[in-house]
Each structure stands twice: as C-alpha cells, then as structure tokens.
Amino acid sequence: MGESLTEFVTETQQPGTEVLRPAGALERRRSAGRQRDGRPGSADGHEAEMLLARTRAAVDPVLRAALETLPVPMRRIALHHFGWQEADGTPAAGGSGKAIRPALVLAAAAALGGPEAREVSVQAAAAVELVHNFTLLHDDVMDRDTTRRHRPTAWAVFGDADAILAGDALQALALRLLAEDPHPAAPAAAARLADCVVELCAGQHADTALERCRPGEVTLDETLAMAEAKTGALLGCACAIGALYAGTGEADVAALDAFGREAGLAFQLIDDVIGIWGDPHRTGKPAGADLAARKKSLPVVAALTSGTPAAAELAELYEAPRGEEDLEHIALTVERAGGRDWAQGQAADRMARAMRHLACAVPDPEAAGGLLALAEFVTRRSS
C-alpha cells in the first residue's frame, strides 16, 4: 500500500485548472468505479462530491443551530458570511463553502472506526468548520478581499470591526460545541483545536510579516512553514480529530494529522497557482489579484529565489509602485522563473508524502477511500 499510493504527477488540463493525477491504488479505484457503473470513479471527483454533499447535510443543521444562538447583530453577519442570508436579513441561497474540513473529520472517523464513529463525530466536524470560517472572516479583513464564494465579504458589507467580532464569535461557538459534546474524545479534540487556532494565528502573523519584507528578503523555507501553519494545520487537525473520535491510538492520530498537513500544503500550492493563473469566472476573484496585491505566494517566492534572470526581473516588478502594472507580464515572469513548475511539482511531492502517512494508519485502500477521494478533490480543482 505504501508505494501504491505515493505516486502523483501534476498536469494542466486547461488554463487555470491544476491537477494532481494519481497513480497506484487511487488510479485503480477510479478504473473500478468506471467498471462498476460506467460513471467516473472517486478520482474524477464523483465520490468526493457525494461525501461533501453528505457532510453538508449532516453538518449544516448543527452550524445553523449554533449561529441561531448568537446575538442578532453577530448572527446577521455570520449568516451573510455563510451565504444563508442577504445583508438586509432576507434568506439567500448562496453556497456556504465546500465543507472539505468537516468532511475530513467524518472520513477519518469512518476510516478508523466505521460508520458509527462517523455518526458521533458530526458535532466535532461542525466545530472544525466554525474555526475555518473564523479564519476566513479575519483573513478577508487583513487581505482586503472584497469577494468570497462569489459574494461580497463580510467586512465589505458590515465593516472591519463587525467582521472581526463575528469571526471571534464563531471561534467561541466551535469550542462550545466541543465543550457540550458528551463523546469521551471531545476534551482531547477541544485541546487539539485550540492548539491549532494558535498555530493558525502564528501562520497568519508570519504571512503578514513576510508581506512587509522586500522580495529579496524572503526565503522559500519560511514561506513553506508559513503555508503549513496557515493551511496544513487545520486540515491535519480535522483528520486527527476524526481519528480521536474513532478511538484509535496516538500513532494513528499523529499519522492522520501528518496526512492532512501534507495534503493541506498541496492544496495551498495549487491554490496559489490558481491565485495567479486561475479563471476569475471559476474562482470568483479578480484575475491576478494576488499579483496586484504583491502577495509573496509560494510560486512567487520560488520564482524570486530561483537565481534566474527572470527572478531579478520579477523582484524589480514587485518593488515597482502599484498602479497600472501589466499583471499578465508579471504572471509570465513568475512562470519563466520556474515558479509555476516548482509549485506543481512540489504539490505532487506533498501528496506523495500524504499518501505514505495515510498508509501507516489505514493500510486498506478501501477503508481509506473517503480520505483518498477528498485528498484528490482538493488538488483537482480550478476554484
């Protein structure tokens, strides 16, 4: 199993769509899925989409019930952020996100403890989703992003202070859900989630510090460490909490945490690629927004540290005054300096590492099926 799940190659199917194509057991599961019903198997996203839909059906009622306990002003902001209400309080049918993190909680619990473990971990999955949305509310304020999920961000509608306070409230709701959960794993899950929040904050602090540095002052290692803390930590925590609710041992919990962290870093690498070359009609964000903001994303830092003539040109472009810059030219310079190829190759490597960690905890590919499908889903996307 270890070797059969570790091979991933990166390919681009269309502009702005980055794909990690699986080999080994995951590819065999794709073929088996086609042979059984003639439709795409899990590697094409079919199984992942079913898992995500089932997760939303299980977790959304818990989320809505939690939000209903908030004071009216905080509730309005939170419901708008989740896409369930317009700014004026009327109902909305906007999407509340893909539910990847709560799906990982449920899939990890099922992989190690079966359907029963999955059913009793729904409240913990909702807590993880609340923490994720707490970070989104704060990140949007700090990054000055005006759209998310094709809708105005909370701060753009309600102002900075209200968006920050709503995010704080979501974090409190997450910890309350775990405090009220009678499951014996809830205290350990609460401690793990609290530690994760601290790591998320440290990662965001590092991110903002890096943005204040000049292009030549940023290293690739510190950017990777920042990305793991900002993105990999919560995906790892989600998987680890699922393992805790399955009642497994500490070695398996640690292996699933490592699996989630590596998959999360692959997710961030692909997300950064999409942030530069993605189709705005798919992403819901303006084209080249990361470049216009001079974000030192992973492809950009890889390009800046490549030692190529294009790297020197990119450093000059990044230090030039912002205004009517040619974002397409900047994107091309990042690509010429090797940033895109490096990010795609690094994403494939991180997914291979994730598969090795998963194999240690869940040696049966069928039992690991949900986690495998979700891991591929987060790196086979265009938005």
Instruction: Give the pLDDT score at 383.
Output: 54
**Pairwise CA distance, residues 92 & 80, whole Å:** 8
Amino acid at 220: L
pLDDT at position 85 over 50? yes
Instruction: Give the pLDDT score at 12.
Output: 44
Can you name the residues that pair with 11 across neighbouring β-strands?
A: 19
pLDDT at position 14 over 90? no
Tens-place pLDDT, residues 50-64: 999 999 999 999 999
Q: Across the chain, where does the E strand assignment appear?
A: 8-14, 17-22, 147-148, 151-152, 380-381
Q: Give the helix ranges, DSSP H, for 17-121.
A: 25-37, 46-68, 72-81, 100-120
Can you name the residues that pair with 148 across neighbouring β-strands?
A: 151
Instruction: Give the pLDDT score at 2.
Output: 35
pLDDT at position 36 over 80? no
Predicted TM-score (pTM) of this structure: 0.87
Task: With CA atoms as reference, report the closest residue to 357 among 372, 342, 345, 370.
Answer: 372
**301 pLDDT band (50/70/90 cuts)?**
very high
Q: Are 186 and 124 in contact (CB under 8 A)?
A: yes
* Mean pLDDT, rounded, for 322-336: 88
Q: What average pLDDT does the chain have?
A: 88
Task: Decide the pairing of beta strands 17-22 and 147-148.
Answer: unpaired
Instruction: Give the pLDDT score at 279.
Output: 80
CATH class of 8-376: mainly alpha
**Pairwise CA distance, residues 100 & 88, whole Å:** 29
* Mean pLDDT, rounded, for 242-267: 97
**Distances, alpha carbon 243 to alpha carbons 190, 193, 362, 383, in Å:** 14, 13, 11, 29
Instruction: Give the pLDDT score at 94.
Output: 73
In terms of pLDDT, which residue wins out, 174 or 15? 174
In degrees, to the nearest 5, what angle opens at C-alpha 272 toward C-alphas 271 and 274? 65
In terms of pLDDT, which residue wins out, 106 or 29? 106
Instruction: Give the pLDDT score at 287.
Output: 65
Amino acid at 219: T
pLDDT at position 97 over 90? no
Tens-place pLDDT, residues 162-182: 999 999 999 999 999 999 999
In terms of pLDDT, which residue wins out, 30 or 50? 50
**Pairwise CA distance, residues 363 & 40, whole Å:** 24
In terms of pLDDT, which residue wins out, 42 or 246? 246
pLDDT at position 153 over 60? yes
**335 pLDDT band (50/70/90 cuts)?**
very high
The residues spanned by each domain of the chain are 8-376
Task: Decide the pairing of beta strands 17-22 and 380-381.
Answer: antiparallel
Instruction: Give the pLDDT score at 27.
Output: 52
- The torsion angles phi and psi of 153, rounded to 5 degrees, stand at -70, 160
**114 pLDDT band (50/70/90 cuts)?**
very high
- The torsion angles phi and psi of 380, rounded to 5 degrees, stand at -120, 80
Q: Are 356 and 2 in contact (CB under 8 A)?
A: yes
Q: Buried (b) or exposed (e) across 308-343, using 16+ Cβ within 10 A?
A: eebbbbbbebbeeeeeebebeebbebbbbbbbbebb
**Pairwise CA distance, residues 49 & 374, whole Å:** 9
* Mean pLDDT, rounded, for 346-363: 96
* Lowest pLDDT segment from 27-31, 267-271, 310-314, 367-371: 27-31
**292 pLDDT band (50/70/90 cuts)?**
confident
